[in-house]
Amino acid sequence: MVTAHPRCFLTESKMRGYGGRAGRGTLVKKKSIFVSIIVVSFFSFWLGHINNAMGMKHDADAGLWLDIIRENLSSYDKMKPADARDYYEDALKDLNALIEEYADTEEALDAKFYVGATYNELGNFDEAIKYFDDVLSHQEEINQNFKARLLYFKAKAFLGMGNVEEAKAVIVELRIIEPRAANAFGKELSGTIRIGMKAPDFNTMDLKGNLVHLYKYKGNIVVIDFWATWSDHCIQEFPEVKKMYRTFKDRGVQFIGVSLDDEIEELKGFVRGEKVEWLQIFEGMRWKGRISKMYNVEKIPIMFVLDQESRVRYIGNDKKKITRVIARLLSESKQDVEPPMVR
């Protein structure tokens, strides 16, 4: 059996919980990449060992530790997103512990990349970009292959945020190093919902049988919340959504929930139990629903904030940022109103 580094904090039972990989007679091939979020087949050349660092010291114990974490990460794509979240968060703790203990090593720099990639998988794109930028700041220590890998995942993070302009800028830099990787974004850029664009319109029925026409709410700020009762993350954050609704419901803000639940009765039961007041649409079909596809929804929870002209002004799940965006839009609308004449 493989013995983990004594500071790895991964018990034998925990390793089995990660997918049973750590108990095999041999380790995985060193430096295997985080395959769960590689979506383009020609990135297979990144699956093997890449000599990422140039001039940085190597530590064998850190390498063994990183191999185990990386092997665990590669197994999570076989799990349901809600089930995998806790494992990803555990992996983040282990990666950060490795970074702290083995600072200034090649493995610590690799671990920072995997932290960013894990944040991408969790939908925390702001944090992902911070880690990618941290590694990219070591221009003297990383080679071009590693830089291309970082730029690719950084562009994915910007697209996840709906920030197409920033993604394009990263892709321009990526194209200089690895044109094939840059070309993989052509389809994604053409259909991605992005900040500043007009939100796709839709007509459908809510749970009460009433017609919901998005553009009917033009003139209001609209918050579209994609969620599901099967998502533990959604349920944990639901009190925050209710608090946000109560804060803004009487101030010209329309909330629309779009449920990706498997069964409509599960949604109805939850709505009754929680006394949910805002509109709820049963999308069903998980990621294959019509509205989910229109908005390129791949992870939940995720919210889209639309301004009074139905333009997308925010994409993500940071409740504090969403509150600030709504408050700013409300402030802007007040400034647009002509003040009364003083007599």
pLDDT-derived band at 331 (thresholds 50, 70, 90) equals: confident
The whole-chain average pLDDT of the chain stands at: 79
The better pLDDT of the pair 55, 81 is held by 81
Mean pLDDT of all residues in 162-185: 84
Mean pLDDT of all residues in 145-174: 87
Give the rounded percent of residues in the chain with a pLDDT score beyond 70: 78
What token pair was written down for 100?
């702290």
3-state SS string for 95-151: HHHHHHHCCCEHHHHHHHHHHHHHHHHHCCHHHHHHHHHHHHCCCCCECHHHHHHHH
Enter the DSSP assignment of 214.
G
Mean pLDDT of all residues in 151-160: 90
- Indicate the domain borders of the chain: 12-191, 203-335
175 pLDDT higher than 80: yes
According to DSSP, the β-strands at 279-282 and 253-259 are parallel
Chain segment 20-40, per-residue pLDDT in tens: 333 322 223 333 333 333 333
Mean pLDDT of all residues in 153-175: 86
Pick one of 3.40.50.300, 3.20.110.10, 1.25.40.10, 1.20.120.1200 as the CATH number of 12-191: 1.25.40.10
Q: Which range (8-12, 186-190, 191-195) has the least confidence?
A: 8-12
Give the rounded percent of residues in the chain with a pLDDT score beyond 90: 45
Predicted pLDDT of residue 192: 65
Mean pLDDT of all residues in 143-158: 91
57: β partners: 105
Predicted pLDDT of residue 187: 59
142 pLDDT higher than 60: yes
**DSSP H/E element including 159:** helix 144-161
Mean pLDDT of all residues in 306-314: 92
186 pLDDT higher than 50: yes
Radius of gyration of the chain (CA): 23
pLDDT-derived band at 100 (thresholds 50, 70, 90) equals: very high
pLDDT-derived band at 69 (thresholds 50, 70, 90) equals: very high
162 pLDDT higher than 80: no
How would DSSP label each residue in 10-64?
--HHHHHHTTS-TTSSSPPPTT---GGG---GGGGGGSS----BSS-B--HHHHH
The better pLDDT of the pair 15, 190 is held by 190
13 pLDDT higher than 50: no
Architecture label for domain 203-335: 3-Layer(aba) Sandwich (3.40)
**DSSP H/E element including 304:** strand 302-306
